[in-house]
């Protein structure tokens, strides 16, 4: 009997210790969960996303300005090409739907998938917002020289920081606040400098309209990024590249349908044949096709960075293209690069560097916390 009781006590004691062992293992392994994301493959993927954003945005913006300079005048057509290139991405969606390219680092097998109604509402809402945002951008690009347009777009980082604070629980720091203020001042300089340089026949009133449309588009774009990040976290909850492509394609279908309605309702489609004859059939088609392709490349990169990092980081990378576009605008479209724009450009770069420094501080703090957790768990 005594031996049986000792055996029973030993079994009970072993079972009582198992949860503690599981907790200890969780403490030890939890800090190492992000390690696969920081592997060289992850960094290569991030570099590819960044390249897609910078190249896609720069090329699409320059081609959009070229369309207007050649005699194009349809705002709705320029709005459509931003999202109408989604068929180019469909083969990727079909491929990655059966072969996910991003490993799953979290246990999502027991999470309920969103219903069809939820997904339809989500994609449709994002698509409608995207159509309105792209229309405002098209109006701004019509009335602003490409250099001014690109620098005003720098305000999207400040807007994104604000929306991320309320929607994505971003914590403001002095360095991040400094970045927001500097970028706001940069845009304000361009607002006061309301001359229609580089845009033949554009009055001060049209310049003001273009500036306000671009500013409003930047705010709406930032809101879309924050809502997209929230959708990834709260609604989709999956770690596959096909989810990124779905978030790109399905809202693009909704946005394109909205833009087609606007094109026919505004009767701008009547002037498209005349535009084609004026610009040249081949040149006209090539400008539109490559603009659509460039925006799809940008979208893949932007959604990929939102999915892997955050909407604010995506917006920061987007600002990297801002110093590039005005330079090409001066070279190809003979935009003026006067003192006010140079100061605004320097402030925009300063704001970008400020955010990157804050990102460096956050990363250093995260590594220090992870090291302390490992040391305490080992002891």
For residue 3, tell me if it sits in a domain.
no
120: tokens are: 């339809």
Give the pLDDT score at 191: 60
What whole-number percentage of the chain has pLDDT above 90? 33
For residue 378, tell me if it sits in a domain.
no
164: tokens are: 């991320």
Q: Where are the alpha helices (DSSP H) in the chain?
A: 2-29, 40-69, 75-83, 90-98, 116-143, 146-152, 155-167, 174-192, 204-231, 241-265, 272-279, 281-308, 311-320, 324-333, 339-378
For residue 78, tell me if it sits in a domain.
yes
pLDDT at 101 over 50: no
What whole-number percentage of the chain has pLDDT above 70? 77
Model confidence, pTM: 0.75
| Number of domains the chain is built from | 1
Provide the Cα torsion 138, 139, 144, 149; round to 10°.
-50
Torsion sign across C-alpha atoms 150, 152, 155, 159: negative
Encode pLDDT of 304-324 as tens digits.
999 888 888 888 788 766 666
The position carrying tokens 């720091």 is 173
pLDDT band of 21, cuts 50, 70, 90: very low
pLDDT at 193 over 70: no
22: tokens are: 């599981």
Closest CA to 147 of 323, 317, 315, 298: 323
Q: Are 186 and 354 in contact (CB under 8 A)?
A: no
For residue 22, tell me if it sits in a domain.
no
Give the pLDDT score at 38: 53
Mean pLDDT of 317-341: 72
For residue 89, tell me if it sits in a domain.
yes
For residue 37, tell me if it sits in a domain.
no
What is the residue range of 181's domain?
52-103+112-373
d(CA 53, CA 297): 7
pLDDT at 70 over 70: yes
For residue 35, tell me if it sits in a domain.
no
For residue 323, tell me if it sits in a domain.
yes
């Amino acid at each position: 009997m005594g031996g049986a009781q000792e055996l029973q006590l030993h079994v009970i004691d072993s079972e009582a210790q198992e949860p503690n062992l599981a907790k200890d293992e969780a403490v030890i392994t939890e800090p190492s969960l992000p390690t696969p994301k920081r592997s060289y493959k992850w960094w290569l993927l991030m570099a590819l996303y960044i390249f897609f954003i910078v190249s896609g945005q720069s090329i699409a913006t320059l081609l959009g300005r070229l369309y207007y300079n050649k005699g194009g005048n349809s705002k709705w057509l320029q709005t459509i090409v931003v999202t109408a290139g989604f068929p180019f991405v469909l083969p990727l969606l079909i491929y990655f739907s059966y072969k996910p390219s991003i490993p799953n680092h979290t246990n999502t097998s027991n999470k309920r998938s969103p219903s069809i109604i939820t997904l339809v509402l989500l994609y449709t809402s994002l698509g409608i917002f995207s159509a309105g945002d792209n229309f405002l951008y098209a109006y701004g690009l019509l009335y602003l020289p490409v250099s001014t347009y690109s620098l005003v777009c720098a305000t999207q980082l400040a807007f994104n920081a604000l929306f991320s604070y309320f929607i994505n629980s971003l914590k403001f720091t002095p360095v991040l606040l400094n970045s927001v203020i500097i970028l706001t001042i940069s845009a304000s300089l361009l607002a006061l400098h309301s001359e229609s340089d580089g845009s033949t026949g554009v009055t001060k009133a049209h310049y003001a309209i273009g500036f306000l449309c671009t500013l409003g588009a930047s705010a709406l774009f930032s809101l879309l990024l924050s809502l997209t990040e929230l959708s990834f976290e709260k609604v989709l909850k999956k770690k596959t590249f096909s989810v990124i492509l779905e978030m790109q394609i399905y809202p693009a279908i909704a946005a394109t349908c909205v833009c087609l309605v606007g094109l026919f309702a505004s009767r701008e489609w009547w002037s498209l044949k005349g535009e084609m004859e004026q610009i040249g059939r081949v040149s006209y088609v090539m400008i539109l096709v490559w603009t659509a392709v460039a925006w799809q490349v940008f979208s893949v990169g932007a959604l990929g960075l939102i999915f892997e990092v955050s909407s604010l980081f995506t917006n920061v990378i987007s600002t990297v293209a801002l110093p590039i576009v005005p330079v090409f605008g001066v070279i190809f479209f003979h935009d003026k690069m006067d003192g006010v724009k140079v100061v605004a450009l320097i402030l925009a770069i300063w704001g970008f560097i400020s955010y990157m420094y804050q990102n460096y501080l956050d990363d250093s703090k995260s590594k220090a916390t992870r090291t302390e957790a490992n040391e305490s768990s080992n002891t």
